[in-house]
Amino acid sequence: MADRYWCGECGFRTPWLTRAEGARRLLDHHRARHPGVPPTGHLESTRRPSAPVLLLVGAGLLLLALALLAAACGTVS
Ligand SMILES: [Zn+2]
Protein backbone atom coordinates (compact mmCIF):
# COMPACT_ATOMS: atom_id res chain seq x y z
CA MET A 1 0.00 0.00 0.00
CA ALA A 2 1.33 3.42 -0.95
CA ASP A 3 0.15 6.98 -0.49
CA ARG A 4 0.69 10.22 -2.28
CA TYR A 5 -0.23 13.72 -1.28
CA TRP A 6 -1.68 16.40 -3.54
CA CYS A 7 -1.01 20.06 -2.85
CA GLY A 8 -4.16 22.10 -2.20
CA GLU A 9 -2.65 25.23 -3.73
CA CYS A 10 -1.24 23.96 -7.02
CA GLY A 11 -0.95 20.79 -9.07
CA PHE A 12 2.01 19.39 -7.15
CA ARG A 13 1.82 15.79 -6.00
CA THR A 14 4.35 13.60 -4.25
CA PRO A 15 5.50 10.28 -5.69
CA TRP A 16 3.97 7.11 -4.22
CA LEU A 17 5.61 6.90 -0.81
CA THR A 18 4.95 5.84 2.72
CA ARG A 19 2.45 8.07 4.46
CA ALA A 20 5.08 9.69 6.71
CA GLU A 21 7.51 10.35 3.86
CA GLY A 22 4.73 11.78 1.67
CA ALA A 23 3.58 14.13 4.42
CA ARG A 24 7.16 15.33 4.89
CA ARG A 25 7.56 15.97 1.13
CA LEU A 26 4.29 17.92 0.98
CA LEU A 27 5.36 20.05 3.94
CA ASP A 28 8.72 20.71 2.27
CA HIS A 29 6.89 21.72 -0.92
CA HIS A 30 4.54 24.02 1.00
CA ARG A 31 7.39 25.73 2.80
CA ALA A 32 9.23 26.32 -0.50
CA ARG A 33 6.32 27.23 -2.80
CA HIS A 34 3.55 28.62 -0.59
CA PRO A 35 5.24 30.30 2.38
CA GLY A 36 2.78 31.71 4.90
CA VAL A 37 -0.11 29.60 3.55
CA PRO A 38 -1.41 26.88 5.87
CA PRO A 39 -0.73 23.44 4.32
CA THR A 40 -3.76 22.04 2.51
CA GLY A 41 -4.25 19.16 0.13
CA HIS A 42 -5.48 15.63 0.11
CA LEU A 43 -4.19 12.12 0.44
CA GLU A 44 -4.58 9.47 -2.25
CA SER A 45 -4.05 5.84 -1.30
CA THR A 46 -3.73 2.69 -3.30
CA ARG A 47 -3.75 -0.91 -2.31
CA ARG A 48 -1.40 -2.81 -4.56
CA PRO A 49 -1.68 -6.59 -4.81
CA SER A 50 0.65 -8.10 -2.25
CA ALA A 51 3.33 -10.64 -3.16
CA PRO A 52 1.32 -13.71 -2.00
CA VAL A 53 -1.60 -12.71 -4.25
CA LEU A 54 0.73 -12.32 -7.25
CA LEU A 55 2.27 -15.74 -6.51
CA LEU A 56 -1.19 -17.34 -6.36
CA VAL A 57 -2.16 -15.79 -9.71
CA GLY A 58 1.11 -16.97 -11.24
CA ALA A 59 0.63 -20.49 -9.92
CA GLY A 60 -2.94 -20.54 -11.25
CA LEU A 61 -1.81 -19.48 -14.72
CA LEU A 62 0.91 -22.15 -14.68
CA LEU A 63 -1.61 -24.87 -13.74
CA LEU A 64 -3.95 -23.67 -16.49
CA ALA A 65 -1.14 -23.80 -19.06
CA LEU A 66 -0.18 -27.32 -17.93
CA ALA A 67 -3.81 -28.46 -18.14
CA LEU A 68 -4.14 -27.05 -21.68
CA LEU A 69 -0.87 -28.71 -22.69
CA ALA A 70 -2.00 -32.04 -21.26
CA ALA A 71 -5.34 -31.73 -23.07
CA ALA A 72 -3.60 -30.88 -26.36
CA CYS A 73 -1.22 -33.84 -26.00
CA GLY A 74 -4.12 -36.12 -25.16
CA THR A 75 -6.04 -35.21 -28.33
CA VAL A 76 -3.04 -35.65 -30.67
CA SER A 77 -2.47 -39.34 -29.89
ZN1 LIG B 1 1.73 23.61 -4.17
* Distance (Å) from CA 73 to ligand 1 centroid: 62
* Distance (Å) from CA 24 to ligand 1 centroid: 13
Residues whose beta carbons lie less than 5 angstroms from ion ligand 1: 7, 9-10, 12, 33
Our CA angle for 4, 28, 17, nearest 5°, is 25
Q: Dihedral through CA 45, CA 46, CA 52, CA 54, nearest 10?
A: -170
Domain layout of the chain by residue ranges = 1-46, 49-77
**Coil/strand/helix, residue 23:** helix
pLDDT tens, residue by residue, 15-71: 999 999 999 999 999 999 999 999 899 999 987 666 776 777 788 888 888 998 888
Q: How many CB atoms lie within 10 A of CB 24?
A: 14
Phi, psi values for residue 7, rounded to 5°: -70, 140
What is the pTM assigned to this prediction? 0.59
* Distance (Å) from CA 43 to ligand 1 centroid: 14
Task: Please give the single-letter amino acid code of residue 58.
Answer: G
